[in-house]
């Protein structure tokens, strides 16, 4: 009887747990995941607000090595092409880079900071989450950063041949002209 009593107790406890098992998977786990996502999202938005507030409005100045670039004639069969633009903070105040985005999804841009740190590649606004274009980096006085740009001539398929012009925009805290724009053009062939 002692063995059966132990067996009955074990069956009852697993039976109760078995009843709640679907509830754990349906309610508890998704609730924990959602709470984690909310926590991480509000944390990154709070950091963004703190960085922008700390940076304030900048009266700094800057120079670029080039505002535009021409790839000339490029072939779809040769694949992606890239160029790099340089931006130097020539003023005495920091420049805060809020966002980096492009005018078309066929173009991606990445910021290479003075210490060699890379941001992720960003594309066109409206094709990602709210914070996908946020950079949140500071260019100190005298520092130079690079904007690496990659163009995919195959992104628009066979109808993408002909002349193209694309833009890359850095949104900053500069008082005068807060958006710094770079562009490139090309003649795309098959």
Tokens representing residue 10 in the block: 């074990």
User: What range defines the domain where residue 102 resides?
Assistant: 62-189
Mind listing the pLDDT tens digit for each residue in 24-76? Answer: 667 667 777 787 767 666 655 555 445 545 558 999 999 999 999 999 999 99
Phi and psi at 100, nearest 5°, equal -135, 125
Does one domain contain both 39 and 132? Answer: no
User: How many C-beta atoms lie closer than 10 Å to residue 98's C-beta?
Assistant: 19
Give the C-alpha separation, 135 to 127, whole Å: 16
At residue 16, the pLDDT reads 61
Q: Are residues 76 and 161 in the same domain?
A: yes
pLDDT at 98 over 60: yes
Distance between CA atoms of residues 28 and 86, nearest Å: 50
130-155 average pLDDT score: 90
The residue count for the chain: 190
In sequence order, the 6+-apart residues with CB closer than 8 A to the CB of 62 are 87, 88, 89, 90, 91, 95, 139, 174, 180
Q: Are residues 66 and 51 in the same domain?
A: no
Helices marked H in 56-112: none
Backbone dihedral region of 109: left (phi > 0), alpha (psi from -120 to 50 degrees) or beta?
A: beta
Residue 169 CA to its chain's centroid (Å):
13
Considering the entire predicted model, what is its pTM?
A: 0.70
Count of domains observed in the chain: 2
Mean pLDDT of the 158-173 span: 95
Which position has the higher pLDDT, 25 or 187? 187
Q: What is the pLDDT of residue 49?
A: 46
pLDDT of residue 107: 95
CATH number at residue 79: 2.60.40.10
Q: Are residues 33 and 124 in the same domain?
A: no
Residues 50 and 136 placed together within one structural domain of the fold: no
The answer to whether the CB of 91 falls within 8 A of the CB of 62 is yes
Whether residues 102 and 20 fall in one domain? no
Given its phi and psi angles, is residue 142 left (phi above 0), alpha (psi -120 to 50 degrees) or beta? left
């Amino acid at each position: 009887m002692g063995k059966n009593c132990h067996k009955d107790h074990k069956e009852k406890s697993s039976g109760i747990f078995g009843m709640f098992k679907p509830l754990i998977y349906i309610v508890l786990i998704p609730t924990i995941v959602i709470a984690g996502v909310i926590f991480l999202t509000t944390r990154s938005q709070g950091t963004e607000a703190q960085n922008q507030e700390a940076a304030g409005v900048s009266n700094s100045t800057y120079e670029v090595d080039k505002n535009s670039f021409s790839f000339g004639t490029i072939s779809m069969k040769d694949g992606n092409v890239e160029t790099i633009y340089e931006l130097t903070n020539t003023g005495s105040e920091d420049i805060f880079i809020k966002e980096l985005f492009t005018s078309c999804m066929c173009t991606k841009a990445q910021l290479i900071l003075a210490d060699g740190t890379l941001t992720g590649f960003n594309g066109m606004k409206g094709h990602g989450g709210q914070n996908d274009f946020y950079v949140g980096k500071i260019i100190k006085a005298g520092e130079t950063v690079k904007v690496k740009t990659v163009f995919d001539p195959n992104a628009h398929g066979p109808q993408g041949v002909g002349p193209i012009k694309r833009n890359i925009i850095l949104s900053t805290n500069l008082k005068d002209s807060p958006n710094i724009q770079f562009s490139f053009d090309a003649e795309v062939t098959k």
